[in-house]
Structure 1
Amino acid sequence: MAAKLPSFDFGKIKDFFSFGKKTFLGIDIGTSAIRVVEVSKKKNTVQLKNYGEVQNDVFKKRPFRIFYKNAVSLSNKEIAEAIKSILQEAVIETKQVSFAIPDFASFFTSFQIPTMDENEIPQAIQYEVRPYVPIPIHEVTLDWAIIGGQVSSTPLKVLVVAIPNDTISQYQEIAQMAELELKTLESEVFALARAARSYLQNKDDAKKILGLLDIGARSTTCSVLDAGVLKSSYSFQVGGNELTEIVAKALNIEYNRGEDLKIEKGLTSGTNQEIRKILTPLVDSIIAEAKETFRDFFRKEGKEVEKVLIAGGVALMPGLKEYFAAGLEKPAVILNPFLNLTYPKVLTSSLQKMAPSYSIAVGLALNGLEKK
């Protein structure tokens, strides 16, 4: 039996809608939290049916996932138990689910291939990707997307992600233990890009070159979208946990108190800027990495990033959006993946507060609807 967990954040909103035929779960298994989104589709309308979240401190205060080298180790039993408890508490009955593979447990590359029949592309990619993957090709599964050109044109540019089979097996085991049907499994960056495309519907920005910064608990992923198409992606090891740690260390306080101060004060300017001064060097390192990613894209494509979307739990830290806009010299906005979903207006305020943290989960759920 799943443990009764006291510290969930739920949105029980099924009763507002009649049930649609297409319903799917997106589950984002992060380092410090698991987030679940349930969506359904009726005709051309995507409805948010339910959502839930649990923090890892419920489970012995250890991370849900641990990274070493280019591999990830998951706490399978605890994760499955947490998922089952979320589904039970939020009264979620959908069994079909999509999971995301963390970017740090994957190998990203892009290259060009000549024109060929569409059914020949997978074999060509498997051959061309070998020099870029540091482990035997038979030990990985490939995920890829066309990011330039058309199937009938030459050359054709592809973005390829190689995912270790051992990592895939861990997610399959979690789904089985949680009594779910794992229908899709993709890299976090693809789910994030899909959430961004959903947010950008009917916006002028949809056709622009956009930077996408996802600041997670352990790492940050910087990507570039060209008219909604994922063009490049780069991950580095700076995240929200490290921001909290430097506050706690500088002030000689407990980690949880450091987290509170980070969320409360952040990078706000004013009479008391102690927290801002502590955080600035690490935030500047994120900006430096983002600038280099954008410069690299310009060198390769001859196009400038025009605007930046910010996702992840740190996105709502006071003053962060403004600090990024100044440091990157580009407009910056917070990604709200719920924006173009249908839900009761009474939830607008609460969803806005949690929106950046749910970007990957929403993207995963939308992927499931597309595949059904």
Structure 2
Amino acid sequence: ALDCTKPESTLGSGGDDANSVMITCDRDGVARYILAPAQVVGSDIKGATAAIDQQSASGWFVSLDFTGDGSRKFGELTQSVVNLAEPQNQVAIVLDGVVVSAPRINEAILGGSAQITGSFSQLEAQDLANVLKYGSLPLAFDRGEVQQISPTLGNDQLQAGLIAGGLGLILVMLYSMFYYRALGLVVVGSLAIAAAQLVILFLLLGEWIGFTLTLAAVAGAIVAIGITADSFIVYFERIRDEMREGKPLRVAAESGWLRARRTIIVADLVSIISAVILYFVSVGSVRGFAFTLGLTTLVDLVVIFLFTKPLVTLLAKNKYFQAGGKYSGVSPRSIGVVTPTLESKGA
């Protein structure tokens, strides 16, 4: 016998024949029904809406309209059951083999429209209206592309992505040390701080919202390394420009920051806006890429303002950097300033 208290009895299968007698349950698993073959199907319904009775304050109800043929079928159905004893005077609304609602017929309905009343909440009325409206749509899914990827292959790809990201980070650090010399230590420290913050954020987000570090997310973090490097380049090159104009390092670090700050903020905001738009208009793994890109760009802003700028200000007070030491990264030779020399000529 059908046991409606079992969860599987209320899930529905969608395989029941509407032209045969059916034994089924309601969605709440409370009532069991023996249903005659369907006399009105979903395609006979033109539309259904949920509304609230403002005049009598009787609550929410569902109004439905039938097609021409549906009006005739429903009229014949209501005429045949209106005088029957309960529960034979009920009409079951069935979706995927489960009874969604079973209203009693109070009178024969021949006008092509009907109302279903009861103690409905707004959500229940809208749900029933949607079932009546869309439950019979002939949906079919075409299989596009199916790929089977083993867990080992996915893990190998993720590890390769992490290795590529680590190599990219190391190369950026090495190039910064080669090009900016001692000033490149600021880049190394800033990238290390940013990487540590990202690891902590990934762990916390994994606990809070179930964030998973996918291959697409790794790609977003790798792209953000370039964005972070751009911030350093903009600031350092602005300092060098200021020094070429004859300003000492301490002054150049402050005035260069004021001029570079706007460029850095605008560039990062463009990246964040792009990531937000991509996150909301995309699905699947692309969302992971967009989320990581936006998060990493925010971390870049935090690091450049709270770590990079104060560290450069501190180095600008150091005597070695102020004197334009050979390996400071701000020596006259490294910034392209030619020091004039005096030549004496013999008589």
Q: Does 1 or 2 have the higher relative contact order (CA < 8 Å, sep 6+)?
A: 1
Check whether TM > 0.5. no
- Decide which structure has greater helix share: 2
Structure whose CA Rg is larger: 2
TM bin, normalised by shorter chain, reads: under 0.3
- Decide which structure has greater strand share: 1
Q: With structure 1 as the length reference, what TM-score do the two structures score?
A: 0.24
Q: With structure 2 as the length reference, what TM-score do the two structures score?
A: 0.26
